[in-house]
Amino acid sequence: MGKPTGFLEFSRELPGERLPLERINDWNEFHEHMPEIKLQQQGARCMDCGIPFCHTGQLINGMASGCPINNLIPEWNDLVYRGLWREALDRLHRTNNFPEFTGRVCPAPCEGSCTLGIIDPAVTIKNIECTIVDKGFEEGWIIPEPPKLRTGKKVAVVGSGPSGLTTAAQLNKAGHWVTVFERADRIGGLLMYGIPNMKLDKEHVVQRRVDLLKAEGITFITNTEVGKDYPASKLREEFDAVVLCGGATKPNDLPIEGRNLKGIHFAMEFLHGNTKNLLDSRHGVSNNGHFLSAEGKDVIVIGGGDTGTDCVGTSLRHHCRSLAQFELFPQPPLERTPDNPWPQWPRVYKLDYGQIEAKALYGDDPRNYAISTKRFVGDEQGHLKELHTVQVKQKFVDGRMTFEDVPGTEKIWPAQLVLLAMGFRGPEDSLINQLGLERDHRSNVKADHGKFQTSIEGVFAAGDMRRGQSLVVWAINEGRGAARECDRWLMGETSLA
């Protein structure tokens, strides 16, 4: 512990952000940099507590508490405080293959369980993590490190999202020849097309890491959907092992009256098309009409999670006419309630970047809580023109939570674009059915955590495809675990962590 009184001397500080009304006019990342001395002071706030809950990585009440990949947080906080940035980078890479991703998009469950957070604002773990790896790239410390020896074994990884890239990186490190299949035209999965550019830069952050993995010997095949463009049976014939990392990409729908009207879309269709068009043309053209624009429209986002926030931020950058976001649950409290104690993830009210931008533009948080959409209404041409809602209240029946309408709270909202961001209900069926894999009760590929072996020998599964919709940091956890067990199956033993 570098400074025993650091948490008493220094207050929590975060880097500044570009002004909301300025940044909604471009697609650049909005976080600014912090002076190095400030970052060292933030590192000094880490108490090196006796039991560092920040890297426990456990689930409490269904939510992450502490870092799921067990980052050595007190160690690299102390190294940053002492100005030993390269050593801090080495510690960070021991547990995290891609800290430049988690340092930008992770909700930081580590900070939710920081011991200092019991009495004061938590240590700025996420910002320090991101700065360590960014400095590593800037200083040229992060370079390709291909394995010195090859085993001759060939492994196919299906899907290039965070779990797929992690699996590939670890198996390549073990000396296997790894081929990653991706159905989109660019590598990265969720990292490339599911998260907007202002939150995670594609060309300078995602592609930078993909290029590094290529230089280390990993083969990437794009525009190839296994099970459609490439027969699933060939995987077993041409590779010694297979790891499935296809994600949970089947979205939850809202099958109510008027659902078939033009103008109602799933969030990922909106976000994917937007980022593809941005990268292809910098929004110079409309990609032959193949991306959805919110420009000049009354937009309603149904769903309150990270994906909903990304839809809000993207719609604002399209210069929509108006914007509202619906959440079925009531507004969270301003502070922890007795049934949400530390070190649980704090379920409290906060403004994310999209809501901050909307509030700056329209004067208020765009979220409407405890609201249910009852029907969509269209015009004579079949285009959405409005939707009808009602306020709801929670009710418990036989111990199960349900919702009931509040009489007299009906409302009509003008809308020409509705984005459904209500989460996902599991992986797509085609590949799983072709391989004949067993599923769990939630329709995910059945494979125990810690083993990651599916019902077919030599076929493993990781990430959202195995556990269901989750965080990028959990995907990295799963990718490392699946690679470890795949390597053990191939070689009889493993040195992978």
Which pLDDT tens digit goes with each residue over 279-337?
Answer: 998 765 544 456 899 999 999 999 999 999 999 999 999 999 999 999 999 999 999 99
Residue 76 tokens, joined: 């690299």
Cβ–Cβ < 8 Å for 90, 75: no
Q: How confident is the model at residue 410 (pLDDT cuts 50, 70, 90)?
A: very high
Q: DSSP states of 400-453 as a string?
A: EEEEEE-TT--EEEE-SEEEE---B----SHHHHHHT--B-TTSSB---TTT-B
Cβ–Cβ < 8 Å for 362, 325: no
Percent of the chain with pLDDT over 90: 92
Residue type at position 36 = E
345-348 long-range contacts (CB < 8 A, ≥24 apart) are 345/60, 345/63, 345/64, 345/65, 345/109, 345/112, 345/113, 346/112
Residue 178, classified by CB atoms within 10 Å of its CB into exposed (0-12), middle (13-18) or buried (19+), is buried
Q: Could you tell me which CATH number the domain at 264-420 has?
A: 3.50.50.60
Q: How confident is the model at residue 399 (pLDDT cuts 50, 70, 90)?
A: confident
CB atoms inside a 10 Å sphere around CB 9: 10
For residue 283, the model assigns a pLDDT of 62
213-256 tens-digit pLDDT: 999 999 999 999 999 999 999 998 999 999 999 999 999 999 99
CATH classification for the domain delimited by 6-138, as one of 2.40.30.10, 1.10.1060.10, 3.40.630.40, 2.10.260.10: 1.10.1060.10
Q: Residue 486: what are its φ and ψ, rounded to 5°?
A: -65, -45
**Tokens 């300025």, residue?**
22
172-185 tens-digit pLDDT: 999 999 999 999 99
Reduced to 3 states (helix: H, G, I; strand: E, B; else coil), residue 385 is strand
Residue type at position 397 = V
Beta strands per DSSP E along 128-263: 154-158, 177-181, 219-221, 241-244
For residue 287, the model assigns a pLDDT of 47
- How does the average pLDDT of the chain come out, rounded? 95
Nearest alpha-carbon partner for 127 in 36, 50, 8: 36
Residue 447 tokens, joined: 């494979």
Cis preceding linkage at 144, omega within 30:
no
Cβ–Cβ < 8 Å for 212, 183: no
Cβ–Cβ < 8 Å for 207, 201: no
For residue 290, the model assigns a pLDDT of 66
Which phi-psi region, left, alpha or beta, contains residue 209 (left: φ > 0; alpha: ψ -120 to 50)? alpha
pTM score, whole prediction: 0.95
Query: Where, residue-wise, is CATH 1.10.1060.10 in the chain?
Result: 6-138
| Topology, domain 154-249+425-491 | FAD/NAD(P)-binding domain (3.50.50)
Query: Where, residue-wise, is CATH 3.50.50.60 in the chain?
Result: 154-249+425-491, 264-420
Residue 33 tokens, joined: 């940099």
Reduced to 3 states (helix: H, G, I; strand: E, B; else coil), residue 399 is coil
Which phi-psi region, left, alpha or beta, contains residue 223 (left: φ > 0; alpha: ψ -120 to 50)? left
**Tokens 């092992």, residue?**
241
Percent of the chain with pLDDT over 70: 98
Cβ–Cβ < 8 Å for 177, 154: yes
Q: How confident is the model at residue 51 (pLDDT cuts 50, 70, 90)?
A: confident
Integer Cα distance of 112 and 350 in angstroms: 13
CB atoms inside a 10 Å sphere around CB 488: 15
Residue 403 tokens, joined: 């919702």
**Tokens 């990304």, residue?**
310
136-179 tens-digit pLDDT: 999 999 999 999 999 999 999 999 999 999 999 999 999 999 99
